[in-house]
């Protein structure tokens, strides 16, 4: 039997933002997790166990998600005032808009 090396395309895991539905590589997005205890928090490492949802690194998506309860739906829970405050505080550290494309394509 010969074992031919087969090039296997490696796909990066893709996730989609719960606010704008854009899909991006997992590491491009920020994971929000609902821990088994019911606490909702930001999970920058993406390693915490629990139900997760993803958002872009854009404050607009976070505002949208909080305003329209997108996160509560995605996480199947109700966000407590405390969780909202934590998420808002995190959102405040994000850039207001997507990094401007300073490079004229081509």
- 34 forms beta bridges with 40, 51
Q: Site for Zn ion (CB under 5 A): how many residues?
A: 5
Chain Cα centroid distance, residue 7: 30
We find the least distance from the C-beta atom of residue 31 to Zn ion, in angstroms, to be: 13
Site for Zn ion (CB under 5 A): which residue of 15, 19, 33, 70?
19
The residues in 36-95 that bind Zn ion, with binding defined as CB under 5 A, are 56, 61
We find the least distance from the C-beta atom of residue 61 to Zn ion, in angstroms, to be: 3
We find the least distance from the C-beta atom of residue 51 to Zn ion, in angstroms, to be: 18
- 41 forms beta bridges with 33
Chain Cα centroid distance, residue 88: 14
Strands 51-55 and 30-34: antiparallel
Site for Zn ion (CB under 5 A): which residue of 16, 20, 39, 48?
20
Taking 3-state DSSP, the helix, strand and coil percentages for the chain, each rounded to the nearest 5, stand at: 25, 20, 55
Interface positions with Zn ion (CB under 5 A):
17, 19-20, 56, 61
């Amino acid at each position: 039997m010969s074992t031919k090396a087969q090039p296997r395309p490696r796909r990066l895991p893709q996730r989609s933002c719960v606010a704008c539905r854009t899909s991006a590589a997992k590491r491009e997005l920020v994971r929000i997790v609902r821990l088994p205890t019911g606490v909702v928090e930001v999970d920058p490492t993406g390693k915490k166990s629990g139900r997760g949802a993803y958002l872009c690194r854009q404050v607009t998506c976070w505002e949208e998600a909080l305003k329209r309860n997108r996160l509560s739906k995605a996480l199947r829970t109700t966000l407590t005032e405390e969780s909202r405050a934590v998420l808002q505080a995190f959102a405040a550290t994000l850039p207001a808009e997507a990094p401007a494309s300073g490079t004229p394509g081509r």
